[in-house]
């Protein structure tokens, strides 16, 4: 790993120490595996704008290569163990159900120290 990548990895680890989210795989070959990552939320979309097949409209989950569970693939579901601040209607309410995310795409570049997962949040309507 060159010096630039080493600095980027140190920066990512610093961001992990602040923005860490814990996930557990709930479906697929990697079920029950736990790992840490950083959710990058999708940007807000104008409701009047027609949506297409655009990866920029999805949230991404970035995970260190050494942390990614073996067998984690597209269409697997992840449960967010540590809820993000403000997810619950009352931030002091710890009884809110954890968020469920579905992996829709995986980018695993061997030259990069992170694996990017494109994810969508599964709502109660989707789960039924």
Q: What average pLDDT does range 93-103 have in this prediction? A: 76
Candidate ranges 30-44, 66-80, 95-109; pick with highest mean pLDDT: 66-80
User: How many folded domains does the chain comprise?
Assistant: 1
- Quick check: is 64 in a domain? yes
Residue 31 resides in a domain: yes
50 is a domain residue: no
Range of the domain at 70: 3-44+56-127
Q: 10: domain CATH number? A: 2.40.10
Are the C-beta atoms of residues 63 and 117 closer than 8 Å to each other?
yes
Query: Does a structural domain hold residue 119?
Result: yes
Structure tokens at 53: 């097949």
Please indicate, yes or no, if residue 49 is contained in any of the structural domains: no
What is the tens place of the pLDDT at every residue in 31-60? 899 999 999 887 666 666 666 666 667 889
Per-residue three-class SS string for the chain: CCHHHHHHHHHHHHHHHHHCEEEEECCCCCCCCEEEEEEECCCCCCCCCCCCCCHHHCEEEEEECCCCCCCCCCCCEEEECCCCCCCCCCCCCCCCCCCEEEEEEEECCCCCCEEEEEEEEECHHHHC
Average pLDDT score over residue span 104-123: 90
In a domain, 51, yes or no: no
Burial of 115 (0-12, 13-18, 19+ CB in 10 A): buried
pTM greater than the 0.85 cutoff: no
Domain-located, residue 28: yes
Kindly state the percentage of the chain with pLDDT values over 90. 40
Q: In whole angstroms, how far apart are CA 66 and each of 10, 35, 86, 108?
A: 14, 10, 29, 12
């Amino acid at each position: 790993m060159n010096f630039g990548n080493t600095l980027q990895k140190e920066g990512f680890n610093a961001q992990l120490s602040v923005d860490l989210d814990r996930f557990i795989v709930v479906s697929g070959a990697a079920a029950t595996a736990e790992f840490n990552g950083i959710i990058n939320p999708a940007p807000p979309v104008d409701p009047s704008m027609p949506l297409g097949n655009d990866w920029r409209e999805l949230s991404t989950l970035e995970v260190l290569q050494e942390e990614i569970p073996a067998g984690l693939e597209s269409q697997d579901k992840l449960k967010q163990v540590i809820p993000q601040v403000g997810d619950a209607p009352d931030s002091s309410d710890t009884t809110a159900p954890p968020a469920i995310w579905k992996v829709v795409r995986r980018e695993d570049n061997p030259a990069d120290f992170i694996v990017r997962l494109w994810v969508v949040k599964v709502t109660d309507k989707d789960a039924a």
